[in-house]
Structure 1
Amino acid sequence: MDIIEKLKSFGITIESLLDAGMALYIGDDEERDKIREKLKDILLKQLANPNVSTLLIAAILLDREGKSNNLPFNYNEDPNYVYVDEVIGLAIANEIAGTKAIFNFRFYDAKKPGIIGELDKKGFMFLDDAIAGLLAGCMSKVFEP
C-alpha cells in the first residue's frame, strides 16, 4: 500500500491536503488556482520522496501505538514535555524545503487549518504534526524561484 492509500484510510485526501495548504495562503486571489496547481505537483512529488513517506508512516505507527497505550507516556493527554510529534513535523518540513519550511511549520501547527485540525480533534498526536510539516514544506517550495 502506498502512502497516499495509507493517508486515505485516515480521511486525508489530496484535495483535503490542498485545501489545508491553501487555507493560509495570503497572496493574490488571481494567482490562487495557479498556486494550488503548483502545490499539487509539489505535494505529489514529495509524497513519493521515501524520506517524507517514511516519516509519515512513522507518525501513523506512533499514533497507533499511542492509541493502544504502548508509548512511555499518557498519549491521550498529549503532554507538553513530549515534543517528538513536533520533531517529526519539523523533520518533514526541513526535508522538503529547509529552514524556511521550519518557520512555516509553526504557522500550520498553530493554526491547524482543515485536515490538520480535524486530525488534532480526533486525537492524532503525531499525524497532525506530520501533515502540518508536509504542507509547510510544500507551500515553502511553491514560492521558491
Structure 2
Amino acid sequence: MIIKKLEEFGITIDSLLDAGMDLYIGSNEERDRVKEKLKEILLKQLSNPNVSTLLIAAILLDNEGRANNLPFNYNEDPNYVYVDEVIGLAIANEIAGTKAIFNFRFYDAKKPGIIGELDRKGFMFLDDAIAGLLAGCMSKVFE
C-alpha cells in the first residue's frame, strides 16, 4: 500500500535505490551487491507498520501544509519548526538505531536524488521522511 502511495509523488523503488546509492562510498566491485542488499532492506522496511505509518504521516502533513491548515506558514519552512526532521529521525531510528540518526543528517544535508526533488517541489515533511528511510536502510546494509 505505501509503495503505491509514494508512487503518487514520483517516489519509486528505483528512485529510492538511486538516491541511497548516490552517497555510497565504497568499491565499485561491491556496488551491485550493496544496491541489491539495499533493495532487500528497503522493501522489508516499507512493510514495517511503524515506518509506513510515519511515511503516511509525512504525506498527510504535507497535504495539510499545502492547504494552509498548519499553525505556521508551511511555504516558508521556518527554522523553528523541526517536526519534519523528527519524523525523518524517527524513521531512521526505527530501522537501524543511533547509527542511522547520524546517517540521517548526511542524507538530509546532501539531499541526493529524489530527496532533493521533493525538497525543490516544497515537500517539507516527505523529503525528511524519505531521507530517514534511506539513512536507516543504508545503515542496515552495513551492519
TM-score (norm 1): 0.98
Alpha-carbon separation, structure 1, partners of 2:122 and 2:132? 17
Matched, 1:133 2:132: yes
How many percent of aligned residue pairs carry the same amino acid?
88
Alpha-carbon separation, structure 2, partners of 1:93 and 1:139? 10
Aligned partner of 1:111 in structure 2 is 110
Q: CA deviation at 1:108?
A: 0.2
**Structure 1 regions of 5+ residues with no counterpart?**
none
Count of paired positions: 143
Q: CA deviation at 1:42?
A: 0.0
**Structure 2 regions of 5+ residues with no counterpart?**
none
Q: CA deviation at 1:54?
A: 0.0
Alpha-carbon separation, structure 2, partners of 1:137 and 1:27? 18
Structure 1 residues 1-145: aligned runs within 5 Å: 2-144=1-143
User: RMSD in angstroms over aligned alpha carbons?
Assistant: 0.2
Alpha-carbon separation, structure 1, partners of 2:100 and 2:109? 14
Amino acid paired to 1:12: I
Alpha-carbon separation, structure 2, partners of 1:105 and 1:65? 24
Amino acid paired to 1:3: I
